[in-house]
A and B are shown apart, each in its own frame.
Chain A
Amino acid sequence: MLSCRDVVALATDYAEGRLPWRARTQMRLHLAMCALCRRYIHQMDLTKSLLGRLGRNPERHEIPPSVREAFRNRKAD
């Protein structure tokens, strides 16, 4: 049986799909019965989603002149 401490330690293994099936089953059982751990896992998922949002609109960079130059010179080969 997994303790709540175990669940927290395994949270990322679980989210990544890297738990062997027995541990995964125990995890799902624990989560079915434990609202506190369900909340924790949900908050870990939220954290990951939020990070994903940060990456959504990456800023565009100007192409450095020397790099543009290299491309044009190559084209001329």
Chain B
Amino acid sequence: MPEDSIGPDTRLRDQLLAGDEAAFEALVSANHGSMLRFARNFISRADVAEEVVQETWLAVLKGLAAFEGRSSLKTWIFHILANRARTRAIREGRVIPFADLGAPEDEALNPDMASRFAEGGGWSQPPAPWDADTPESILLRQEAMDQFQTALETLPPAQRTVVTLRDVEGWSAEDACNVLQISETNQRVLLHRARTRLRRALEGVLAR
């Protein structure tokens, strides 16, 4: 058997199949919250999202023996969740943020950055130095963090989903694209726009 198929996640699978309830509890407890948040990208109602996540856990238990460890267990779980959330959203007539992504508008620059450059492409409104220059020092600044959180929460849905998966939760581009069923390019455009906006929000508070 190839080395990489006997990874920590196939071991966890085996533990769960053997009935290790503590391991299952740990798995659920660690992921339920982010699964709820993820489901809310497709489903507007919190109670429906909770239903879908619980159904996902049941489906995970049913399908566990078939998990081969080709992806991480987490990615596999989120695949199941994404499919259920999409199906449920369609049933409820909801617009899915990624469904019509197609080719992103040919706009490499966020509208709010376009005005910062002169005609030749040089800065007209350059970035100012910030008061706080490390993540640790920014975390201590209440107002900056409040603005940052608000900016994150009010991002357009597709941008918020991608930047949350990639930058907050630390998923690889490949896993994010697989679960969201979008192309690498589309994913990157959304990530770019989200980071650009969030940087701008920090600048609003931290620029000297």
Contact = CB atoms under 8 A, between A and B. Distances in A.
A5 B117 contact: yes
Contact of B127 (A3, A43, A61, A67): A43
Contact of A46 (B32, B121, B202): B202
Contact of A3 (B54, B121, B167, B191): B121
Contacts of A4: 117, 121-123
A8 B109 contact: yes
Secondary structure dominating the interface of B: helix
Interface stretch (B3-11, B83-91, B192-200): B192-200
Given A39-B127, A47-B199, A55 B168 contact: yes
A66 B54 contact: yes
A61 B32 contact: yes
A36 B135 CA distance: 20
Contact of B199 (A5, A6, A43, A58): A43
A5 B127 CA distance: 12
A16 B134 CA distance: 20
Contacts of A8: 109, 113, 116-117, 196
Given A3-B122, A43-B130, A18 B188 contact: yes
A70 B138 contact: no
Interface size class of B (residues with CB under 8 A): 35 or more
A44 interface: yes
A46 B122 contact: no
B49 interface: no
B21 interface: yes
A54 to B, nearest CB: 5
Interface residues of A, number: 42
B202 A47 contact: yes
A5 B121 contact: yes
Given A16-B173, A51-B168, A58 B188 contact: no
Nearest to B50: A64
A22 interface: no
A52 interface: yes
B30 A58 contact: yes
A55 B170 contact: yes
A8 B61 CA distance: 46
A71 B16 CA distance: 9
6 contacts: A12-B188, A12-B195, A16-B173, A51-B167, A52-B135, A68-B25
Interface of B: 19, 21, 24-25, 28-30, 32-34, 36, 50, 54, 57-58, 61, 108-109, 113, 116-117, 120-123, 126-127, 129-130, 133-135, 138-139, 148, 152, 163, 167-170, 173, 184, 188, 191-192, 195-196, 198-199, 202-203
